[in-house]
Chains A and B, each alone.
Chain A
Amino acid sequence: MTVSAKGPSKKLIDRARVIRWEIGGDIHERLVEAIYTDAARIADRAVTRPGEERRFDLDRAIDRVVTSRIWGFPIMILLFTLIFWLTISGANVPSQMISRVLIGSVYPFLKEGASAIGFPWWLSGVLIDGMYLATAWVVSVMLPPMAIFFPLFTLLEDFGFLPRLAFNLDNIFKKAGAHGKQALSMMMGFGCNAAGVIATRIIDSPRERMIAIITNNFALCNGRWPTQILIATIFIGTLVPAHLAGLFSAMAVVGIALLGVLLTFVVSWFLSRTWLRGELSTFSLELPPYRPPRIWQTIYTSIIDRTIFVLWRAVVFALPAGAVIWLSANLSLGGQTLAEHLVSFLNPFGLLLGLNGVILMAYIIAIPANEIVIPTVMMLTVLTAGLTGIGEGAGVMFELESTIQTLDILTAGGWTLLTGVNLMLFSLIHNPCSTTVYTIYKETGDLKWTVVSALLPLVIGFVVTFLVAQIWQTLAAL
């Protein structure tokens, strides 16, 4: 019983090796072949096909069109435009209603209540003008478009749309030196970049995974869709006649999303030729059959999982942000409020980028969550420009009248069409939110690459907005 355990097992392994040599040839292949043969025989016995000839297959017919070289991309772009158009034109009425209740009725009621109980002005300021108003803005601006956009997007997902999109994009990703599966993590990023970063786990090669992680931020996420939709409605939609406003705004948003995809390719290409050089790996992508979407279930889960989730996150971040904004606009230092100090400090830099100090400050406050950028911008503009008489209405941003009202506020704050366009660009191209950065750190466990993922988009964003601003101003001066 003192025989070493190594003995017999070692002999066993050696014997297996010898036999493998004796037989020769590719045993793996023969084994796989044997399995396939058995599988085919058993399947053949169990399955009865209807008639000999191949029936018309609807799935294959649809796939032939939506994944075709010529029609694939136009169809996908058209579908996205349709979804945004429905979102933008459908969000008007409910957004106005919510705003009327939250800001038109509840807000004055709270103010009166606070003064009746005898709240000091600063307390009601922080609580009601700051925290409550920021939250009310977030809810009335974000809830309606999300409640329309997410169910529509989820229905497409449920139908089997995303794998086709990935299939169409796969080839371009390979040409960019990245993994084809990056198309899938990018799709996930359109929902949430943190989720997109986690989704890169499907990519086995560390090099290609890192490319996918760094570029995921260029997929426009939930938190940024509302900013894009809103700014497009205000600045692009008002450029064209009213009946075309929705369509043009939608096209502008799709344009920004496509620019994000383009940047993904360009940056992937750049990384795979510089710091992340290496072998390409291959994979096979299966197109699942189209399945009739379960409409009610999808709407239910998309509202619970996505709409409420995103809204909740926005509200959680809007509460403290509202307090910070109000405090910074009311605490004075040497005759000027804190916000005025910061905004005027950031302003020259902002103007260089075709933005302004308010937007940059909003982005600093919004590092935890992109969702609150627009409410922050609005509040800071109103507070620092010293505008009065806008309590209600300012939150109603989708209805045409108030779109113009919002435009008036922003123009009074010194905004131009360039500011709008560059805000859309900067919203696409800037550092990921802190949740995503944290996720990147957890997934890679590497501080250096986390910093690169956070700063690379920011630098690109500065460069792009700077160039656009300079070219724009040069052209305008001509």
Chain B
Amino acid sequence: MSEVDIKQARKDAPCETCPVHNAANLKKLGVDMQEWDFVIALAGNPNTGKSTVFNALTGLRQHTGNWPGKTVTRAEGGFEYGGYNYKIVDLPGTYSLLSTSLDEEVARDFILFGRPDVTVVMADANRLERNLNLVLQILEITDRVVVCLNLMDEAKRHGLEVDHRRLARDLGVPVVPTSARYGEGLDELILAIHEIATGETRTKPHRIKALSPELETAVAEIVRELERVYPYLPNRRWVALRLMDGDERIIAAIENGELGTIVEMEVIAEDPGAGKTMEAAV
């Protein structure tokens, strides 16, 4: 079977190794997936070397524009690896996804509604604790994550030892140590992205544990409710947490049916009424 055949076969039959991204929603977010096999989101705190990694991965294959309807700048680019075309979308640098700033909304919407095949989260090895806040939030939304532990050179200079294997075990996703300014670790990063995108690596993402038992019980109840309304929703627990928090954006997404479009189903594409049926099939 030639490579083209394999790719065609993958496109025809939904399977474990198929792209998971939501092409329709991505289009609304300004990303056209024609000619691309996988879409990678690049997230992270400011000052973690995100642009350095972006530039290193894409080289000259990049262009900048705006997020649709927003005054937030977006850069996107691409690279090829192992016979696949990867598109990278650089998300705004943020410290969290919980507040309502424009940057955080853009980043959160892309990860939630676009369902990128892989989300690379940049983390500064020197400020791991603060950077993990964002990593943990993203792990609640998607399990297709690679953590890029950057600025290892600086950590070494400051005498810090960061055990990336331990970190990978605790987070349940691949952690790649890099010194992007010097090009170190980028090959490993690309490999890790590739393995997540093609489904070769399965992850067991960390879930926020330090919730009080009372909150846990409440979350569990909303998760059960969500399960009934959206049987295919992949990140129910996170949506439940956002509902508990009274996140207006998520409430609106439930009310206008946007949340239901996260899982792209052939049925919906063929029958416009099927989306409703799915929601109502309680």
Contacts and interface: CB of A to CB of B under 8 A. Distances in A.
Contacts of A40: 129
Given A39-B132, A46-B162, A47-B162, A12 B226 contact: yes
A313 B255 CA distance: 51
A43 B132 contact: yes
B276 A5 contact: yes
Interface stretch (B33-41, B110-118, B217-225): B217-225
Nearest to B164: A46
B15 interface: no
Contact of A16 (B98, B158, B244, B280): B244
A50 B159 contact: yes
A38 B72 contact: no
B46 interface: yes
Interface stretch (A19-27, A227-235, A264-272, A393-401): A19-27
A443 interface: yes
B133 interface: yes
B215 interface: yes
A63 to B, nearest CB: 14
Interface stretch (A146-154, A283-291, A380-388, A419-427): A283-291
A69 interface: no
A100 B43 CA distance: 52
Given A5-B279, A291-B181, A38 B208 contact: yes
A470 interface: no
A394 to B, nearest CB: 41
Contact of B257 (A5, A23, A204, A443): A5
A335 interface: no
B26 interface: no
Contacts of A20: 244, 246
B265 interface: no
A289 B154 contact: yes
Contact of B159 (A5, A34, A55, A294): A55
B188 interface: no
Contacts of B159: 49-50, 55
B280 A8 contact: yes
Interface residues of B, number: 63
Interface in A32-70: 32-50, 55, 57
B207 to A, nearest CB: 9
Interface residues of A, number: 54
B41 to A, nearest CB: 20
Interface string A1-31: 1111111111111011101101100011011
A27 B244 contact: yes
Which secondary structure dominates where chain A touches chain B?
Answer: helix
Contacts of A294: 181
A341 interface: no
A13 B249 CA distance: 12
Contacts of A34: 208-212, 215
Nearest to A32: B98
B206 A47 contact: no
A49 B160 contact: yes
A42 B229 contact: no
A174 to B, nearest CB: 19
A111 interface: no
Contacts of A38: 132, 136, 206, 208-210
B160 A35 contact: no
Contacts of B215: 23, 27, 30-31, 34
A201 interface: yes
Contacts of B161: 47-48, 50
Contacts of B218: 19, 22-23
Contact of B170 (A30, A31, A35, A46): A46
14 contacts: A3-B280, A8-B282, A9-B229, A15-B221, A31-B245, A34-B208, A34-B212, A34-B215, A38-B206, A40-B129, A41-B210, A42-B170, A46-B163, A291-B181
Given A16-B225, A28-B245, 19 more contacts: A1-B280, A3-B280, A5-B275, A8-B280, A9-B255, A9-B257, A9-B279, A10-B255, A12-B229, A15-B221, A19-B222, A30-B212, A34-B211, A34-B212, A39-B129, A46-B167, A48-B160, A55-B159, A289-B154
Interface of B: 46-47, 71-73, 96, 98, 101-102, 126, 128-130, 132-133, 135-137, 154, 158-164, 166-167, 170-171, 181, 206, 208-212, 214-215, 218, 221-222, 225-226, 228-229, 240-241, 243-246, 251, 254-255, 257, 275-277, 279-282
Interface of A: 1-13, 15-17, 19-20, 22-23, 27-28, 30-50, 55, 57, 198, 201, 204, 286, 288-289, 291, 294, 443
The 10 closest A-B pairs by CB, nearest first: A50-B159, A39-B132, A43-B129, A37-B210, A16-B243, A34-B210, A288-B47, A48-B161, A46-B167, A43-B128
